[in-house]
A and B are shown apart, each in its own frame.
Chain A
Amino acid sequence: MMAVVKEKKGCVMSNRDLEYYQKMMNGDKQSLEAIYDKYEKLLYSFVIKLSSDHSLAEEVLQEVFIKLWTQKAQYDETKGKFSSWIVTITRYTAIDLIRARKESVSLEEETDVPEEKGDSVEDLVEWKEKSTDVRRALSQLSDEQRRIVDLFYFKGCSQSKIAEECNLPLGTVKGRLRLALKHLKKHLSIQEGGISDA
């Protein structure tokens, strides 16, 4: 069963992204720069959330944009939004680099669900629109659910590591995680006011 969440209107920024992306594929440096300008702060902040390491964050961004420019990673518009794609590439790049550095990410401290600080998320419309909603939805999860989501998504832990950290039988991790993520999406959809759940 898959929850189907309607695309919010107002997030239709992908056309411009696609245009930049296609120009960049033809070697247009300005378009790569435009993509960079648009996503720099989100991606940087995201990697900080994944790793809490500023020097790593810069290295990750460099790697991500090299992948874009040299076309080692290629965006397929039929498979979703550009923004989802570029954060996914960033997440994997970060996870790989963290592992490569063999820095065992401290699992002692959960990545805090950020308080609303009134910090500006600047000019990225999608971030602006979603940040409050996603945080609020996260805050409505139970502590255990938040921890599972954090270990899985933000820390990139293996299933057995999550089982160990959360004191769960290995076989139940997937079910718990899915439940937590579904709750999250449900809270989000309620806030966004548009849901159809199949």
Chain B
Amino acid sequence: MRECEKVLDYFNNELSNTEREKFEKHLESCDECREELEELRMLTDDLPFSSDPVEPPEGMKDRVLGAVFEEDKEVSEDQVVPLNEHRSKEEGPAHAPKPRGNRQRWMMSGLAAALAVSLIGNVYILSNGGEESVSEPPISESTDEVNSRVLLQGEATTASATAAIIRQNESQLLTLQAEQLDQLEGDQVYQVWLLAGDQPYRAGTFVANSNGEGAVAFSMDQLPADIDWEAVAVSKEPDAESQTPQGEVILSSTL
């Protein structure tokens, strides 16, 4: 099938990952397909309003929002470190961990692995949907606290990331997880930077997996102490060696 004939299947999410990537590449250079897609979106955007009103079942709101906020709690605990001491202050007493749904699994396993490795080395690359496993993550007892948590966005990309600086005893850890990343080519990597004044400091390197997801955990012990970090950014670099940003900064946020 010619690429231009895949517009409908792209719109309906019927393409395989490879096909989708190929088509998205095609979209960059084909005005006609972009217009057709935009037109499809516009022409269909009233259709949901033809739905017959159906009364939702009793208690649905409580169940749905309950699950949403519960999910959030699990995610933030995992983001903070797979140790058992952390509680954020407003969330009250410990709750029994519940089995997690599939939807978060890539994120959980990826982050847990990333964090575990970060305690050994400093940088971990997540690829292949977070399937890597790390044997025997180091066990330590500590209470962690999120010092700051920010959302990184960029103007020329749909990618986004969240970053958190976590205080763990006397150390600080930077975690970052990104999604909807463009695929890299050759030796290219995504590089995380912490910025103070005009000075960028390397703060972890990662690549995107086939789903466009990547994560990093970085021990800030190797950075100069007592710096007031102003911003965090992600750039696309030609290789993992850049000491200052060589490529474009795609995502950033002030801290």
Contacts and interface: CB of A to CB of B under 8 A. Distances in A.
B45 A84 contact: yes
A133 B46 CA distance: 10
Contacts of B53: 41, 45, 119-122
A95 B51 contact: no
Contact of B5 (A69, A127, A174): A174
A46 B162 contact: no
B71 A130 contact: no
A69 B72 contact: yes
A70 B72 contact: yes
A173 B36 CA distance: 14
B134 interface: no
Interface stretch (B62-70, B191-199, B230-238): B62-70
B131 interface: no
B50 A134 contact: yes
Q: Summarize B's interface: helix, strand, loop or mixed.
A: helix
Contacts of B151: 25, 71
Contacts, number: 154
A77 B134 CA distance: 41
Given A44-B54, A117-B52, A119-B52, A36 B8 contact: no
Interface in B144-164: 151, 153, 160, 162
B221 interface: no
B50 A152 contact: no
Interface of A: 2-3, 5, 25, 29, 32-33, 36-37, 40-42, 44-46, 48-49, 54, 57-58, 61-63, 65-66, 69-72, 74, 80, 84, 87-88, 90-92, 95-96, 113-114, 117, 119-122, 126-127, 130-131, 133-135, 138, 149, 152-154, 156-159, 162, 171, 173-174, 177-178, 181-182, 184-185, 188
Given A42-B48, A65-B68, A95-B13, 19 more contacts: A3-B42, A29-B69, A37-B61, A62-B67, A62-B68, A66-B103, A69-B71, A69-B72, A71-B151, A74-B153, A114-B50, A131-B50, A134-B46, A152-B12, A154-B47, A174-B7, A182-B43, A185-B46, A188-B46
19 contacts: A2-B38, A2-B39, A36-B64, A36-B65, A40-B60, A66-B103, A70-B72, A71-B151, A71-B160, A80-B41, A84-B41, A114-B50, A119-B53, A120-B53, A121-B53, A127-B49, A130-B49, A138-B50, A159-B5
Interface of B: 5, 7-9, 12-14, 35-36, 38-57, 60-61, 63-65, 67-69, 71-72, 75, 103, 151, 153, 160, 162, 179
